[in-house]
Structure 1
Amino acid sequence: MPLKITVIGTGYLGATHAAAMAELGFEVLGLDVVPEKIEMLQRGEVPMYEPGLEELLRRHVAGIEGSTGRLRFTTSYEEAGAFGEVHFVCVNTPQKHGEYACDMSYVDSAFDALAPHLTRPTLVVGKSTVPVGSAARLAKRLAAAAPAGEAAELAWNPEFLREGFAVQDTLHPDRIVAGVTSERAEELLREVYATPLAEGSPFVVTDFPTAELVKTAANAFLATKISYINAMAEICEAADGDVVKLAEALGHDERIGKKFLRAGIGFGGGCLPKDLRAFMARAGELGVDQALTFLREIDSINMRRRGHMVELAREAVGGSFLGKRVAVLGATFKPDSDDVRDSPALNVAGQIHLQGGQVTVYDPKGMENARRVFPTLGYADSPLAAVRGADVVLHLTEWSEFRELDPAELGDAVSERRILDGRNALDPGLWRKAGWTYRALGRPQA
């Protein structure tokens, strides 16, 4: 019989993991403490935009016509404890308010609520991104609170999901990391991931600390690469170089590679910035803060890019935003997502608005979330409507829809044909040919 799996926390990570486990053939029970979220998932609807996730969910949720019925949802920890043989903990670990450190309260609460219902040998698997050292503490907490005692084991199995590719990354991971303390835990995780392992996904077995460090180390490296090319963009602007050509040349070096070398207004989202800061905070707690001092500059470079885009926009409209109309194409922190958490695009839009600009935003999927964060901004239902009467257009999220826009058609709607490409993703020649003044970060103005 296939293993019975529970997924604790059904947000972005948990909903994706639960649906993917059902797709791999397991009986799955998803748990969340928010009844509205559970009701939505039981209808086969997801509370966020993620390509392919809703279709995957509807293929397996019990009660939906034509589904396998392998996936159910509950708000009961008692039911989850009785049901599951393997429990995945997928709750959020946000940044603490006013601090760099990670807020572990949701993880601790999940363990405390689940443990009293673990009456038989079981494996609890942490997937949340946590400070190194958390797993050892939680393993002791679990064994002390569970009726099964030490037979309620812990493993740490970090997630590496990319928003926009989460379904693919769960079903076909580029690596599976298993932080375990027993052969039994390793064997159970190998059983869970038997299908991707058969397809060739690498399986890396580690201790707890190493497994916890993999995710934060990976995010810190990616952040470093992004901020590096953005620092080079600053140099290119000062020296009249072209950061796009520079990145192309660097990318041909196989030691460096092409990915994450597109200069722009920097990274955002719910993971990279807060994981970077939590990593620095934890290093300080361990007494090795000097090892990660460089990450402070990585963070600083990233935040500086947003301010620089605001300065370029102000310069483009004559030195002041007062009485000027600014169109912003993009609100999400990246394309193929509706996530506006720590979005550079929305941050730039908000700064311009606070400085007196009349800002109108359009985004293919993030409008509803953007309105909740910045209700005072203007919003339009199409790119054409967003740019109508604009003195400058800012391209700040690299949706494919924006690359396909007709510069001539948009040119007929704006007040002035000025565009600032904050993602270096548009074709400069195409826009300039249509009479636009085109400028991008780190590139010559003409």
Structure 2
Amino acid sequence: MNWYRDISTPEKRTLWSCFAGWALDGVDTQLFSLVIPTLLVTWGIGKGQAGLIGGATLVAGALGGLLAGMLSDRYGRVRALQITVVWFSLFTFLSAFAQNFEQLLVLKSLQGVGFGGEWTAGAVLLSETIRAEHRGKAMGIVQSAWGFGWAGAVLLYTLVFSFVSPDWAWRLLFGIGVIPAGLVLYLRRNVVEPPRAVMPGASTRQALPTVRSIFDRSVIRTTIMGALIGVGAHGGYHAITTWLPTYLKTERHLSVLGTGGYLAVVITAFICGCFVSAWLQDRIGRRLNVILFAVCCVATVNLYVFLPMGDTAMLFLSFPLGFFAAGIPATLGTLFNELYPQGIRGTGVGFCYNFGRIVSAGFPVLVGHMGNSMPLGSALGIDAGIAYGLVVVAALMLPETKDRPIAMVAANAATRA
């Protein structure tokens, strides 16, 4: 942790503010997956309706990420982060008062807008605050906050459902979701807006970006390759998380998937994967780090699919899968931010990350269709190979950005334009 002692107090405040925001975001988001069984019984809704709420939240999160990126370019990184934190806290809280499926669908979708926006705004703020040699470590640590938030959601769920009847427990959990709004008070007092660079002779109005700006010929290659990485990274992750449990339950007949031990291993693996990726990307570079974790993801998935295993082996082997799956998203925030000039950085990062989120919905569907004509395990292995192969090819088409000063990106982009 020598690097942590090396960074300044403003850098540390920004790091832990973004960490707290993403962890609290993780708590609010993961609570829904935990209360689904209760909603199925309490409201008598079907699994398809519960899945629709989850899907709508993800799509809304992707749109929110793009919107937050544009807002951060126009009105500042700190202000955009404040808006997104208040937004997802408010609509998580209001979800506690939903009276039917339709109301919850709308409220959770609106919550998703803030959920997606918080990552984008926080990632851009952190990238412009932390010095280049430590940026990867800081970004990876913040990404690990999702695992801590996930664990916090499990603990809250266990505690509340132990003392409150299920009919009211899920409402209390959503009501607690208003707590992250208090983070805004800290942001207002302690986190400083990064300085904005304005090109000589350009007015503030001229410097304001539009969505079209990330498709300018000076950055269009970056946008296309970054979007493809986002598609592959999210596509592989969602295909695995959607179909691997089904495959292991129905074709391998494993029972460990529903245990607390399995969940603890997966969460721990996610956090460890983020930490290792954080350290590694500042050592070997962003591009090589992404490629390494993508290749390891493909290898691990195929080991799951083709190796015979029992419950005990499954419990232990779930660690490398969660570990490698975490390494790619832990790198994307650093990589995407270092590819764009400051004036359009939020818009570019928001697009690359969240375009991938939307398109990735097709990968679980692809596995399902392929599974009709071949073993589900084979379909999953092929799909993972396609998704993470896309990540590798796109990463090879991008420059290495390790140790690149943020200001240099703006200067280079301006020169090319």
Q: TM exceeds 0.5? A: no
**TM-score normalized with structure 1 length:** 0.27
**TM-score normalized with structure 2 length:** 0.28
Higher relative contact order (CA 8 A, sep 6+): 2
Higher helix share: 2
Higher strand share: 1
